[in-house]
Amino acid sequence: MKPAIGVVGVGNMGGAMAAHLLEQGWPVQVCDIDAAKVRSLEALGAAGRTDAAQAAAGCAALIVCVVDADQTRDVLFGRGGAAAAMQPGQAVLLCPTIAPRDVEDIAARLAGRGIAAIDAPMSGGPARARDGSMSLMVACADADFERQRVLMEALSGNVFRIGTRPGDGARTKLVNNLLAGINLAGAAEALAMAQRMGLDLVRTLDVIERSSGQSWIGSDRMRRAIAGDFEPRAHVTLLQKDTRLAVEAAGAAGFSGPLGAAARDVFARAAAAGLANLDDAALFKLLSQQQ
């Protein structure tokens, strides 16, 4: 018998993770501020819960998959929060992309209650979360890792053991997402340049994908941009947040690079231009309109 798992935040990523676990026979308890998302998972066999405390009750582990540190703290320590309902020995997987200092603070608060904190940010997008091929970057005590190994390997075929220091998973994720933001901003700029030069964008991207300019995120997003498809899979606001956090984390480590700050500023411009709730492929829309 697999133990019950709670998931709070069942949007694009959390919902895909919950569905993947259900498909593998895990009992899953879900909670989200959007009742429709809970109902869609109930149709797959999940048990819907009204708050985070109920989602965590009786579970071996609680997966927190919300947007930012404030939401994470509210899920765990706010009204109806999970931490007060959890028992020593249970674990919390912290999957949002948040600042390392926030991970450290949350982990310390959970440890004070005897609850294991597993710093486990994810990467790969909803399709890869749904099929179990996403990446998990895990930092936690060795004993906690071993206790939750089966769950993490059920969630992901790419579990990267980063270390034992809380916050190092977050640091690794920010390094990755900063590069993703740089690559996406670069791809959008290159395609906007190609458009201004009168080139066929589909053919140009065909060349890039088979040449030295290729990047996964550039290809994925620019194919959608060329088709005029800006339906959000990953909102502009996500990489806007992540590139900002990455540059801040770099500064805290005494590092300053030229490209991260430039990418951060492009995402901030896109949000300010009214594109915040579109797919981040909308960087092409922003840059192709430049005079």
CA distance 214 to 279: 20
Count other C-beta atoms under 10 Å from residue 274's C-beta.
11
The CA distance from 50 to 272, in Å, is 35
Nearest-10 crossing angle of helices 201-209, 168-196: 140
Q: How far apart are CA 163 and CA 251, in angstroms?
A: 22
Angle, in degrees to the nearest 10, between helices 35-42 and 12-23? 20
Q: Which of 37, 173, 241, 285 is an active site residue?
A: 173
Please say whether the beta carbons of 290 and 191 come within 8 A: no
C-alpha–C-alpha distance, residues 259 and 183, integer Å? 10
Residue 241 appears among annotated catalytic residues: no
Q: For residue 162, how many other CB atoms are within 10 A of its CB?
A: 21
Task: Name the residues annotated as catalytic.
Answer: 173
